[in-house]
Structure 1
């Protein structure tokens, strides 16, 4: 049986305001029984420390609910922030949504 997956597509700058919205959306998804959350950052142009904090909080919420969180489609600036903060070692990041589908959903 395929797991239930929800894709969140934030856009623009991922900062305190958008980060709080992202966390609320993930909390709502978890409460509906979502098993996998994919955050597609294709349309995110910049992430600041508040946005990074929101991703960490989201990751913790998902983990506590025994769900899985994945990230895909990060641009160079976001990738650099992830690398500088070593978040690239904690988050499961895929180059594209297709890569996520083939590597995660195909083995479920």
Structure 2
């Protein structure tokens, strides 16, 4: 897969209703412009609430419908627990960091 089909987004701070809606729009915009894989790197995110998770789920569903992938990496403890409590850890593909993603078959497909 060539590199313009993979895009990495690095949000920062708190992902709540306002900031997550912008993130969702950014993800969908990338896919509508030909991106096949969007990796959201949570390294600089300090907190995500349920509305943030909701927008990620909506983006995930949209990408699945258009045969693209939404992947994540570098989630902190709070986000990991939120994913586990909601069962989204079974739905989302989460890598430890960008390096792990870069070594995965998804990056080289």
The two structures share one fold, judged by TM-score above 0.5: yes
In structure 2, what is the Cα distance between the partners aligned to 1:54 and 1:25? 11
Tell me the alpha carbon deviations over residues 55-104 of structure 1, each in whole angstroms, 9 at most, x when there is no partner. Answer: 10110111111101100000011101111111100000000100001012
Match of 1:2 in 2: 2
TM (norm. structure 1) is 0.94
Is this contact kept in 2: 1:2–1:105, CA < 8 A? no
Q: Which secondary structure state, in structure 1, belongs to the residue aligned with residue 75 of structure 2?
A: coil
The alignment yields a C-alpha RMSD, in angstroms, of 1.1
Report the Cα offset of residue 27 of structure 1.
Answer: 1.4
In structure 1, what is the Cα distance between the partners aligned to 2:11 and 2:88? 18
Structure 1: any 5+ residue segments left out of the alignment? none
TM (norm. structure 2) is 0.94
Kindly report structure 1 stretches of 4+ aligned residues shifted beyond 6 Å: none
In structure 2, what is the Cα distance between the partners aligned to 1:53 and 1:25? 15
Q: Which secondary structure state, in structure 1, belongs to the residue aligned with residue 67 of structure 2?
A: coil
Match of 1:105 in 2: 107
Report the Cα offset of residue 2 of structure 1.
Answer: 2.9
Residue 27 of structure 1 pairs with residue 32 of structure 2: no
Report the Cα offset of residue 39 of structure 1.
Answer: 0.5
Q: Which secondary structure state, in structure 2, belongs to the residue aligned with residue 34 of structure 1?
A: coil
In structure 2, what is the Cα distance between the partners aligned to 1:2 and 1:10? 23
